[in-house]
Structure 1
Amino acid sequence: MLPLNPALAATFRPPVMEARRWLEGLSLPAGLPLINLSQAAPVEPPPEPLRRAMAQAALEQPDAHLYGPVLGRAELREAVAGEWSRAYHATIQPGQVAITQGCNQAFCAAILTLAAAGDEVILPTPWYFNHKMWLDMQGIRAVPLHCGPDMIPEASAAARLISDRSRAIVLVSPNNPSGAEYPAETLRAFCELARSRGLALILDETYRDFDAREGAPHDLFSDPDWGDTLIHLYSFSKAYRLTGHRIGALIASATRMIEVEKVLDTLAICASQIGQIGAAWGMAHLRDWLAGERAEILARRTAMAEGMAQLSGWRIKGCGAYFAWAEHPYDLSSPELAQRLLYKVGVLLLPGTMFMPEGDPDAARHVRIAFANADREGIAALIGRLESFRP
């Protein structure tokens, strides 16, 4: 038998793929179409003008088919720096921006510049499972930081978890899986904690375009020395429906970019050229369209919160961006509940055990609902099925 990396072997399998396997051989009754709320991703292609711009680039720009700069195309790095400077009332330089193959790669690159096997990274729970998977693969210990009932982590609690092996704290806001939007003062407190203890603060704002708040969600970039502590992550997948083109961004100090470039060159050389062209075009031309997308997601959020409030025994702990994190009322573990919901009422969602440490009792009591995959009519259908469900 060939050797197997023990850290990789010990890493759990991708949860979304596990949920998809539940669909194999599934036969739902007539009139009960599947409501698939398992994965947080747009289910429609990019808007037609964006697709046309990308198709035109494929036909007319020879460099769209060649290797590009490891840290990304200049026009996209400049666009990100300009937009982030405007949105966060700060000054961010193109040399502080790297374009990655999706936000997952941005996270992987950030971690590789910070930590090695045996080190520790603090993750609030429930955590984004791909973050946990990458740490496990690298032999880096994920230290769970339990959130309160409002799903907001506390810097004071994180301070008690820091050891001499700690290298970073990771925050996701708006959060996946809970939907919670972290207050600006929470993010500031974590940044100050990280700086005082010599750690990095990795802030994943994949869902920033769907934050319910107006204006900048924090002031971390206003600090002229932000690069000493902050590493910021972003994804173009959700905002512009570019999931298949895998375009993300990492914003950090120019000094750290030297190390990021090593990682990206080794993993993929560069992100997709056509995807980068599409992202830059979208930033330049789709501001109004994106505002409409945000308004629709916020309307779905309202429909989800109001609908869930009608269900006896269910309790929404967090609801925002693409997600609701819900406590269920049944005497079942969340994996068993998730499968029964699928087989009995045709609803596919993910159990809390996919987002929390093994053995955590809270995991069995919660589920993640990726409600952004359903329109308001679909959300109403979901509420009806949950109401009719009998274990």
Structure 2
Amino acid sequence: MTLPRTAATFAPPVMEARRWLEGVAFSDEKPLLNVSQAAPVDPPPVALRQHIADTALNVAEAHLYGPVLGLPELRAEVASQWSAAYGGEISPAQVAITSGCNQAFCTAISALADQGDEVILPTPWYFNHKMWLDMMGLTSVALSTNAALLPDPDVAEALITPRTRAIVLVTPNNPGGVEYPADLVAAFYALAKRHGIKLIIDETYRDFDSRPDAPHTLFGDPDWSKTLIQLYSFSKAYRLTGHRVGAMVADTSLLAGGEKFLDTVTICPNQLGQHAAFWGMRNLGQWLAGERAEILDRRAAITANMPRLTPQGWRLMGVGAYFAYLEHPFEMPSDKLAPALVRDHHILCLPGTMFMPKTDPAGKKQLRIAFANVDRDGIATLFKRLSQARY
């Protein structure tokens, strides 16, 4: 009997990790430090929640079907703000609103590729990207990164075949945290353009990039839409994870194909979430700047605490946005180590094996820490507990 496509991939990693909590007793003296998921646990700011409530009460059409590609005013706002931020020309017709950034990725791939095609993913990869490619019957071609978790365009070029449809970059990176330099992103863009394939850049964490200027200048190319697809999430910026609002910026012909996918899957994005995202873009710039400053301070706290671990052989491979990616010093593989850390030290994090091909042994030496919901004191506690680990 032929198995369904969903059988071709692994179980959702975050859900799997939560099962490690079963049977473990935590206490007030030693509570669980959950650094497994890259999502804010706090609700949106009060002003935004009030706007959502007002919209729910007073905007009747917010409860009805809306345009498949999203509210026109939100598409226009993204186009306007992105054009200013990246120094390029983006039209509202080149913006689609999706039910989260994951759906933006699924939409892009569905409009681009057919069964048996190939997509290049730098490793460690974002596991939901790999899962969707598996379920689409596509081949994920692993692109190894260097010691700083940066991919090499020359190595990527050697992986391109007639079946290659896209290269995917995530910056700031999930799971590695690293911010890809603008010249590196430009080199990948030139590579994709030269070979007539797409460069998909997932910028879910762009609001927490440490650089004051635009992270790349690709939208400055008048022909950007022939090569570039950019993905974004409103969830992290405005704490709208439960409302599922993302965006895709791409050529209008690709969005026409994507519209077929979106109409079949969700018909339209969440209306209340879209109204919230639009209001947030218009009114929460100063608040978001404060959120960014807090995340950058926690990033600094990760770096400041690393000397507690380096004498034992730990190594900080990457840090940025919501993530720190660590190499551990133990013989125990990370898929065994991560559950042990829950049991022995009350730390829930994800093993590198969840972000790497099974054939790549490097994942067994790696752990991902998602620190968006752990303040400076919590980070200090995390590193104290890690320093006590012996396996």
Q: How big is the shift at 1:28?
A: 2.7
User: Do the aligned residues in 2 keep the contact of 1:309 with 1:315 (CA within 8 Å)?
Assistant: no
2:100 matched to which residue of 1? 102
Aligned-pair CA distance for 1:360: 0.9
Residue of structure 1 equivalent to 2:205:
207
| Superimposed CA distance per residue, residues 335-376 of structure 1 (whole angstroms, 9 cap, x where no aligned partner) | 111111110010000000000000311010001000122011
Query: CA offset at residue 29 of structure 1?
Result: 4.9
Equivalent pair of 1:307/1:380 in contact (CA under 8 Å): yes
Provide the residue aligned with 2:193 in structure 1.
195
CA deviation vs aligned residue, 1:283-322 (integer Å, no higher than 9, x gap): 0000000000000000000001111232121100100000
Which position in structure 2 is the counterpart of 1:77?
75
Letter in 2 for 1:77: R
Secondary structure of the 1:182 match is coil
Q: Which runs of 5+ in 2 are unaligned?
A: none
1:307 alignment partner, SS class? helix
Q: Partner of 2:127 in structure 1?
A: 129
Residue aligning to 1:373: 373
8 Å CA contact retained: 2:112, 2:254: no
Q: State how far apart, in whole Å, the 2-side matches of 1:265 and 1:6 are.
A: 23
- Contact 2:20-2:339 within 8 A present in 1 as well: yes
Query: Identity of aligned pairs, percent?
Result: 59
Cα deviation digits, residues 135-174 of structure 1 (max 9, x gap): 0001100000000001110111100000111110000000
**1:121 touches 1:142 (CA, 8 Å); kept in 2?**
yes
Provide the C-alpha distance between the structure 1 equivalents of 2:128 and 2:97, rounded to a whole number of angstroms: 19
Equivalent residue runs for 1:1-391 within 5 Å: 5-29=3-27, 31-311=29-309, 312=311, 313-391=313-391
Structure 1 segments (4+ residues) deviating >6 Å: none
User: In the comparison of the two structures, how many residue pairs are matched?
Assistant: 389
Tell whether the 8 Å contact from 2:308 to 2:384 is kept in structure 1 after alignment: no
Change (3 A) 1:4 1:241: farther
Paired with 2:23 and 2:51, the residues of 1 have a C-alpha distance of: 40
What do residues 197-233 of structure 1 show as CA deviations (whole Å, max 9, x unaligned)?
1110000000000000111000000000000000000
CA distance in 2: counterparts of 1:22 and 1:343, whole angstroms: 8
Distance 1:232 1:169 in 2: 12
TM-score normalised per structure 1: 0.98
Task: Kindly indicate whether the alpha-carbon contact (under 8 Å) linking 1:50 and 1:282 is maintained by their aligned counterparts in 2.
Answer: yes
In 1: Cα distance, 2:47 partner to 2:190 partner: 43
Q: Distance in 1 between matches of 2:76 and 2:355?
A: 35
Unaligned 5+ runs, structure 1? none
Give the TM-score, by structure 2 length. Answer: 0.98
CA-to-aligned-CA distance 1:157-197 (integer Å, 9 cap, x gap): 10000011111000000000000100001111001100111
Aligned mates of 2:136, 2:187 — CA distance in 1: 28
Equivalent position amino acid for 1:384 in 2: K
Using a 3 Å threshold, how does the CA distance of structure 1 residues 10 and 257 change in structure 2: closer, same or farther?
A: closer
Residues 28 and 343 in structure 1, CA contact (< 8 A), matched pair in contact too: no
Query: Distance between the aligned counterparts of 1:302 and 1:9, measured in 2?
Result: 41
Aligned counterparts of 1:125 and 1:18: Cα–Cα separation in 2 = 21
**Given residue 380 of structure 2, which amino acid in structure 1 is its aligned partner?**
A
Cα offset for 1:30? 5.2
Question: What amino acid is the match of 2:387?
Answer: E
2:326 is paired with a residue whose SS is strand
1:123 partner SS: strand
The separation in 1 between residues aligned to 2:120 and 2:191, in whole angstroms, is: 12
Q: Which digits, 9 at most, give the CA deviation of each residue in 1:236-294, with x for residues without a partner?
A: 00000000000000000122221111111111000100000000000000000000000
SS at match of 1:158: helix
Q: Which amino acid aligns with 1:243?
A: T
Q: CA deviation at 1:107?
A: 0.1
